[in-house]
Structure 1
Amino acid sequence: MSDILEEIKREKIVAIIRASSSENIMHTVESLYRGGIRLVEVTMNTPGALDAIGKLKTLKGDLHIGAGTVLDAESAVAAIRSGAKFLLAPTLDERAIQAANRYGVPLIPGVLTPTEALRAYEFGAKMVKIFPIRSFGPDYLKDIKGPLPFIQTMVVGGVSIDNISKYLKAGACSAGIGSSLVDNQLIETGNYDEIERRAKQFIQAAKSI
């Protein structure tokens, strides 16, 4: 578990794929990989998500595939059995965290308040996802980290190329990037060169911190 968490902290960027179809996911992930992305989350509400995770896990040896929108323990176990190396959730569910920990796979739950962040930590979460961060900004993250410096944080929701460096400087270990990196229209039109270009931008911004 610690190995993948260290990888998340080292790479800093998790690409979030929430697509209307799993048809072009392989090409999408290949373009992200060419752009330097090594951590990809396929949300569980993507059609065929579990099959996609199973196929993607063998794509590249240094590519780590996770599952997102994991809402309960049953979904956590299903994703792990499909090959997910890490799990993310928009919400906080104790049973889901415990189930994932039992398999040695980190589940990063969604929290917003200091109370929720501490509760997730006490439930056994090794990192929490501050979500949605969009309306609060980097100063909010800094305020949470003040009294809770021991809690590792990922920021998700509205993170863009324009603000990612601010979040990382404010104390985020990593950032989950959705539509500003993997836009559904780009996937549907097969504009993989643009996905690759955006991936390179985010990697450069993250590595500069």
Structure 2
Amino acid sequence: MLIDVLTADRAIAVVRAPRIDDPAALCRALAAGGIRAVEYTFTTPGVEEVIAASVAAVDAGDPAAPLVGAGTVTDVAKAEAAIAAGARFLVTPGLHEGVAAVARDAGVPFLLGALTPSEVMRAVECGAAAVKIFPSTVVGAGYLKDLRGPFPDTLFVPSGGLHAGNAADWMRAGALAVTAGSSVVSAATIEAGDWTGITERAREFTAAALGALTA
């Protein structure tokens, strides 16, 4: 399901905020802009409740419904808590085999963070649905193009510093999807409840990513 959504939308939203009072409205705003995969991070206090509230508000039978997951999963306890809250996928900032094992046992797809070729190989061996290239701003889109040489069948999702102005570069380099962070959904816009603005920025971001595939 996760890979199907990323293949269709070519984007995943990473949400970092000190508080999220209306996660259901946030998910709807992102989905309206074309981003259905929503990654709530463990840097948000009480993120388990945010995940649970979002999942409860989702109509699982609606193909346009958001897919709610957890990010910044840095240990086994967080992985277990996210899955218990209903997370449909997990994302790590780096290579964590314990998190991978918890997700595999629960049948939950996961993206493992990696940067070097050795880390990419280990992430694939651990069963990652896709490999998160992080921090992508350090290496640039050309690095992903180089990685695609020895790893042509590996699915990559770059994360960190991406926006509508550079998303196409990463897609042309061979990314499965690109990560929309604060350029699309910032803590300030969440606090203000600017759902229309979030939808507009999400639409701009996905248009840039999808446009790279047809240009």
Normalising by the smaller structure, the TM-score range is over 0.9
Whole-Å separation in 2 of the counterparts to 1:34 and 1:167: 23
1:145 CA displacement: 1.0
* SS at structure 2 position matched to 1:51: helix
Give, as a single letter, the amino acid of the residue that structure 1 aligns with 2:168: S
Q: Which residue of 2 aligns with 1:108?
A: 111
Give, as a single letter, the amino acid of the residue that structure 1 aligns with 2:113: G
Q: Which residue of 1 aligns with 2:163?
A: 160
Q: Is the contact made by 1:112 and 1:132 (CA closer than 8 Å) also made in structure 2?
A: yes
* SS at structure 1 position matched to 2:99: helix
Whole-Å separation in 1 of the counterparts to 2:152 and 2:32: 34
Match of 1:129 among 125, 128, 132: 132
1:185 CA displacement: 1.4
Question: Residues 70-124 of structure 1: CA distance to partner in whole angstroms, max 9, x if unpaired?
Answer: 0112211211111111111101111110110111111211111111100111122
Q: Which residue of 1 aligns with 2:30?
A: 32
Q: Is the contact made by 2:13 and 2:181 (CA closer than 8 Å) also made in structure 1?
A: yes
Q: Which residue of 2 aligns with 1:5?
A: 3
Whole-Å separation in 1 of the counterparts to 2:77 and 2:46: 16
Q: Which residue of 1 aligns with 2:208?
A: 205
1:129 CA displacement: 0.2
Match of 1:91 among 81, 90, 94: 94
TM-score (norm 2): 0.91
Q: Is the contact made by 1:70 and 1:88 (CA closer than 8 Å) also made in structure 2?
A: yes
1:25 CA displacement: 2.9
Q: Is the contact made by 1:22 and 1:48 (CA closer than 8 Å) also made in structure 2?
A: no
Q: Which residue of 1 aligns with 2:193?
A: 190
Percent identity of the aligned residues? Answer: 38
Whole-Å separation in 1 of the counterparts to 2:114 and 2:193: 34
Q: Confirm whether residue 69 of structure 1 aligns to residue 72 of structure 2.
A: yes
Whole-Å separation in 2 of the counterparts to 1:207 and 1:150: 20
* SS at structure 2 position matched to 1:70: coil
Whole-Å separation in 1 of the counterparts to 2:127 and 2:33: 33
Whole-Å separation in 2 of the counterparts to 1:120 and 1:36: 28
1:165 CA displacement: 0.9
